[in-house]
A and B are shown apart, each in its own frame.
Chain A
Amino acid sequence: MQLKQPIGASLTAAACGLLGTLPHVAVAADDSDRWQADTALFYWGEGDGRVQDMSLRAAVHRALGDDSSVDANLTIDTLTGASPSGAVLSNSVQTFTRPSGAGSYQVPADTTPLDDSFLDTRVAIAGTWQQALGESMRWKAGVTASGEFDYQHYGANAWLERDFNLRNTTLYAGAAIGRDDIRPVGGAPLPLTAMRGVGDNSSKLADDSKDVLDALLGITQILTRRSLVEITYSYGQSTGYLTDPYKVLTVVDAVSGLPVAGSPGSGLNLYLYERRPDSRTKHSVFGEWRHAFDRDSFALSYRFMADDWGIRSHTVEGRYRRNLRPGLYIEPHLRYYQQGAADFYRTELVNGAILPQFASADYRLAQGDALTAGLKLGRPSPDGEFSVRLEYYRQTAEPSAGSGIGYLANRELVPPLSAVIAQFGYKFSF
């Protein structure tokens, strides 16, 4: 049975009688926004003509019903600039053949050779579905794919987490597999063979691929009303073509330290394409402590990584969030990273010494450390959160043991890397 006419006006009058006054503002209540988006425009700029990256990222999240949600994200990267080819400097001009084999470039004396052949655009997409299983369990499944001119990736991942102990403890486990197809410009070179002259492709093979498996196991534990810790153990296994097809090692004379002559007729010094093992196993342990004050908060983390290439690394990172007022925050950030060299890292090879089974002069496999210092500024508002992040990255690396003969002694063989990070972000819901 229905009431004959709306009671709204009478009820309002009655409430006015009870309370004495009624509020003047209208009611504003509606379903919460179901879409959330997080976007960022990112710039990475190294000094000295090296790599510059401009990237656009967008991630969206949509809640569906009360126990599932979907996430999708898109990344577009454009890379320009030069990066070290692995060759060392010399006292005279050096000529190198471009990876495509269709041209060459020259590097002045006393300059660490940089290869500027990498102008590339990369597009990556990912999608994840999250579903609740009962009250305390959730699973996620996702796919990833990315493509560049010379590289393609496809992957799938799954994740399961369960709450215990009034949701104070959460255990999680995940696994991801990926297949990467590598199509180097000019073909993948035969490892540890000499760089040929322009137009000579006799040392090049076609394409190759690698398979990657990642698995992790972790726990998040709330300690007190203000603190929680998160600990994750990760395992990674890569198999296949793990070598960088564009990197070389210079073969230098055992006394002078200058490059020896390359393959006859090529007009080049002897540069051998690098070779890495065809498998790599990594173990990492990551721990983070997050703590909330009444207004501010901070996060402190440590990660240890060890792999079967002989690399050990330590990463310590801290962030302090200072919420100045509800609509403004600043967040200083500091990160220190230290790694040991890979067993087969050689800054250069010596003529006459036994050729190692594996060798690479990629500075990223050298012993060294890096420091990042930055500041983020954010402005949350009803229309969304705008943020700006500015960071400085400085990495230094050591040459391999026994490196630096003759001419190479007391010279900077592995130049340090300095870069600036600038990021503009906008997070909103609708």
Chain B
Amino acid sequence: MASPCEVLCETEEAAVANHISEHAAAEALRIEQKYSRYRDDSVISQINTAHGRPLSLDEETARLVDYGATLWRLSEGRFDLTSGVLRYAWRFDASQPPPTRAAVTELMKRVGWQHVDWKHPRLTMPDGMEIDLGGIGKEYAVDRVAEWISGQHAVPCLVNFGGDLRCVGPPPASGTWQVGIESTTQPGQAAGCIAVATGALATSGDTYRFIEIDGKRCGHVIDARTGWPAPHAPRSVTVAAPTCTQAGSYSTLAMLHGADAEAFLDAEGIRYWCLR
């Protein structure tokens, strides 16, 4: 998951807390390993080395691909599961210079969901294209763990995987979980505090992974239609929604809307916090 993952439970029984944390850790690890780019035995690696052969995906992967395809449609192509290859140009290491236009244009030949033949559960992808579920995998893991907890145990919990979180009931004493929004000017400090009783929160931002182009800081959310980050994107967007998957999608799409992030979120009628 590339970030600290934790589950906060309010329970008097150590056995329950242990059971929950063991399952949460196992589930997070399972999803990470299944969709890791860095493991040869992962499902993603198998898909990305199919070299044009049709593949029949398992139920879970098929649903994730369905979701990614829907996001591609709803975002008019800004969000694209096949945009992962752009990481070869975009390192998002502040010490590296931004990629050249030529490098990006070259890679854009391998980007575009419209080139993919997807008929649930059969996936046929042209040779040279790759799928990356990094944009939705973490939030999906949070939702899976949260749903398991509410089914198995009725304890108030907060599942938090690196800032993408979901509540399973409010804590009985105070009534809300207190979540800090990280300051964009002083990493490690809170810029504000959100009190959440039910629902999920997800954040997209440029605080840690960013690059400077022409002196302006750009986040790591790339618009798949252009191959470049959306201009004038907010520094950080935090969204509240019923599930972490939805919250994550809203925050990613808001970043992709650049200068219109707030207008987009206002039109959706959801609660958000935008830092510029």
Contacts and interface: CB of A to CB of B under 8 A. Distances in A.
Interface in A374-405: 380-383
Nearest to A28: B197
B192 A29 contact: no
Contacts of A17: 63, 66-67, 70
Contacts of B250: 11
B66 A380 contact: no
Contacts of B263: 2
A265 interface: no
Nearest to A30: B195
Contact of B241 (A27, A32, A66): A27
Contacts of B270: 8, 27
Interface residues of A, number: 38
Interface stretch (B22-30, B46-54, B174-182): B174-182
Given A22-B243, A66-B191, A327-B172, A11 B260 contact: no
Nearest to B177: A29
A75 B259 CA distance: 51
Contact of A19 (B170, B183, B192, B243): B243
A380 B174 contact: yes
B81 interface: no
B85 to A, nearest CB: 24
B97 interface: no
Contacts of A135: 186, 188-189
A380 B173 contact: yes
A31 B193 contact: yes
A66 B260 contact: no
A67 B185 CA distance: 12
Interface string A130-174: 000001000000000000000000000000000000000000000
Contact of A66 (B192, B199, B264): B192
Nearest to A381: B173
A355 interface: no
B194 A29 contact: yes
A2 B257 contact: yes
Contact of A25 (B76, B143, B171, B199): B199
Interface string B69-80: 011001110000
A15 interface: yes
B264 A2 contact: yes
B196 A28 contact: yes
A111 B98 CA distance: 92
A29 B240 contact: yes
B242 A11 contact: no
A293 B65 CA distance: 46
A10 B194 contact: no
Most chain B CB neighbours (cut-off 10 Å) among A32, A33, A135, A383: A32
A336 to B, nearest CB: 32
B271 interface: yes
Interface in A219-247: none
B4 interface: no
Nearest to A27: B199
A21 B193 CA distance: 29
A194 B211 CA distance: 85
A14 interface: yes
Interface in B248-276: 249-250, 253, 257, 260, 263-264, 267-271
A402 B204 CA distance: 79
Contacts of A15: 67, 243, 245-246, 249
B140 A18 contact: yes
A8 B240 contact: no
A31 B175 contact: no
A27 B198 contact: yes
A29 B270 CA distance: 10
A19 B143 contact: yes
A23 interface: yes
B214 interface: no
A31 B171 contact: no
A218 B150 CA distance: 47
B64 interface: yes
A326 interface: yes
B10 A18 contact: no
A6 B196 contact: no
B103 interface: no
A26 interface: yes
Most chain A CB neighbours (cut-off 10 Å) among B173, B188, B195: B173
Contact of A382 (B75, B176, B191, B271): B176
Contacts of A380: 173-174
A326 B243 contact: no
A144 to B, nearest CB: 29
A266 B173 CA distance: 66
Interface string B105-121: 00000000000000000
Given A3-B76, A8-B269, A14-B66, A325 B195 contact: no
A32 B193 CA distance: 5
Contacts of A353: none
B201 interface: yes
Contacts of B267: 2-3, 6
A63 to B, nearest CB: 8
Given A31-B192, A32-B194, A18 B171 contact: no
Interface string B135-152: 000001001100100100
B94 interface: no
Given A2-B264, A11-B74, A22 B194 contact: no
Contacts of B200: 27
Nearest to A1: B260
A106 interface: no
Contacts of A27: 198-200, 240-242, 270-271
27 contacts: A1-B260, A7-B268, A8-B268, A8-B270, A10-B70, A11-B250, A14-B70, A14-B74, A15-B245, A18-B140, A19-B143, A23-B150, A23-B199, A26-B199, A27-B241, A28-B170, A28-B197, A29-B195, A29-B197, A30-B196, A31-B195, A32-B178, A66-B189, A67-B189, A326-B172, A327-B172, A380-B173
Given A6-B268, A27-B242, A32-B192, 11 more contacts: A2-B260, A15-B246, A19-B143, A19-B243, A27-B199, A28-B170, A29-B196, A29-B240, A29-B271, A327-B172, A380-B174
Per CB-CB distance, the 7 closest pairs between chain A and chain B, nearest first, are A382-B175, A27-B199, A32-B193, A29-B240, A326-B173, A29-B196, A28-B197
